[in-house]
């Protein structure tokens, strides 16, 4: 049962990522991988928020949010492999400035948004 | 059809990630370092760039399968949100060394793995091209023998 919940969350997450990539990516990819950047930042924020939101509640009450939303949806929504692949493509295209902005930006803004979500979720 | 491919890949990717996390759960508990997510991301980064390069240049592969494997499966298998959360939690526990190590390896090692996947893919392509050239020259020789 747990696997089904995670898998269904995974379907929703992967489809949402694909959809956002279709809408945003087609306009902005050449200069900067904006779609993946936005996806990873918003996903990090939501995971931080959700984690402190369900902290302290008994596991039986939050099984859908933990397995389905956090592990399934957000885990599949955000992605590391595309992030790394786009990074080396930027290097191949000689876009060194965007490469460093993408790397540092994803790490710093991703962690910050996760931390902010974590703090906000406690209220 | 492409949505279906992404959905199937996403389902399998999320479950596989959960399975691998479970395998490393004991190690994560005993060391306090998020090995599971790191290993998942390192593997996924290598495989994605290898697959995408080979699939785009060499293999004649249906775009739906490419989407299902790359965007669906590997995209859902690897994760950024868990990496962010685990780093924040390490910082919260004042384990700054681990947090720095995790951040560094997740960002730079993953990009390095991705570059490594690209290099391996180019190697495969070169090997394939050489083999094809040899086969062609062998068949040329044979053709000449037949004609002479």
**pLDDT tier, A69 (very low <50, low <70, confident <90, very high otherwise):** very high
Q: How far apart are CA A103 and CA A26, in angstroms?
A: 21
Mean confidence (pLDDT) of chain A: 91
Residues 37-96 of A with CB under 8 A from B: 39-40, 43-44, 46-48, 51, 71-72, 74-85, 87-88, 91
Is A52 in contact with A121 (CB distance < 8 Å)? yes
What pLDDT score was predicted for residue A61?
A: 78
**Spatial CB neighbours of B4, under 8 Å, sequence gap ≥ 6:** B64
Nearest residue to A6 (alpha-carbon basis) of A102, A88, A76 = A76
Residue B28 CA neighbour count, 13 Å, CB half: 15
The answer for residues whose C-beta is within 8 angstroms of residue B38's C-beta and 6 or more apart is: B102, B105, B106
Q: Residue B15 is nearest to which of A3, A84, A103, comparing CB atoms?
A: A3
CA distance B80 to chain A (A): 5
Radius of gyration from C-alpha coordinates of chain B: 21
| Distance between CA atoms of residues B54 and B92, nearest Å | 42
**Is B56 an 8 Å CB contact of chain A?**
no
What are the DSSP calls for A33-102, one per residue?
-HHHHHHHHHHHHHHHHHHHHHTTS-GGGSHIIIIIIIIIIIHHHS-SHHHHHHHHHHHHTT-HHHHHHH
Percent of all residues in chain A with a pLDDT value above 70, rounded to a whole number: 95
Set of chain B residues whose Cβ sits within 8 Å of the Cβ of A71: 14, 17-18
How far apart are the C-alpha atoms of A36 and A84, rounded to whole Å? 10
- The answer to whether B80 contacts A72, with C-beta atoms less than 8 Å apart, is no
Beta strands of B14-143 (E only): which ranges?
none
Distance from CA of A58 to the nearest CA of B (A): 20
Query: Quick one: pLDDT at residue B93?
Result: 93
pTM of the model: 0.90
* pLDDT values of chain B reduced to their tens digit, one per residue, 148 residues: 899 999 999 999 999 999 999 999 999 999 999 999 999 999 999 999 999 998 877 777 888 999 999 999 999 999 999 999 999 999 999 999 999 999 999 999 999 999 999 999 999 988 888 888 888 887 777 777 766 6
Strands (E), chain B: none
Residue A29 has pLDDT above 60, yes or no: no
- Which H or E run contains B71? none
**How much of chain A exceeds pLDDT 90, in percent?**
70
Cβ atoms A7, A72 nearer than 8 A: yes
């Amino acid at each position: 049962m747990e696997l089904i919940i995670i898998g269904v969350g995974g379907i929703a997450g992967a489809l949402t990522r694909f959809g956002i990539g279709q809408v945003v990516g087609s306009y902005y990819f050449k200069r900067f991988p904006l779609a993946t950047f936005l996806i990873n930042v918003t996903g990090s924020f939501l995971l931080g928020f959700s984690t402190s939101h369900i902290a302290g509640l008994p596991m039986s009450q939050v099984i859908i949010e933990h397995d389905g939303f956090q592990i399934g949806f957000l885990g599949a929504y955000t992605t590391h492999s595309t992030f790394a692949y786009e990074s080396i493509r930027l290097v191949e295209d000689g876009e060194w400035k965007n490469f460093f902005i993408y790397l540092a930006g994803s790490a710093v803004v991703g962690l910050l948004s996760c931390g902010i979500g974590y703090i906000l979720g406690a209220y | 059809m492409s949505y279906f491919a992404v959905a199937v890949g996403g389902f399998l990717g999320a479950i596989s990630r959960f399975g691998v996390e479970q395998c490393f759960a004991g190690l994560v508990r005993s060391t306090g370092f998020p090995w599971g997510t790191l290993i998942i991301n390192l593997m996924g980064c290598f495989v994605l760039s290898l697959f995408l390069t080979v699939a785009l240049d060499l293999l004649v592969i249906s775009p739906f399968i490419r989407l299902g494997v790359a965007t669906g499966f590997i995209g859902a298998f690897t994760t950024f949100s868990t990496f962010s959360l685990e780093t924040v939690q390490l910082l919260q526990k004042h384990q700054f060394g681990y947090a720095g190590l995790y951040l560094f390896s997740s960002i730079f090692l993953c990009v390095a793995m991705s570059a490594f996947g690209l290099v391996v893919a180019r190697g495969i392509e070169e090997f394939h091209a050489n083999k094809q050239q040899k086969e062609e020259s062998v068949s040329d020789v044979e053709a000449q023998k037949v004609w002479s």
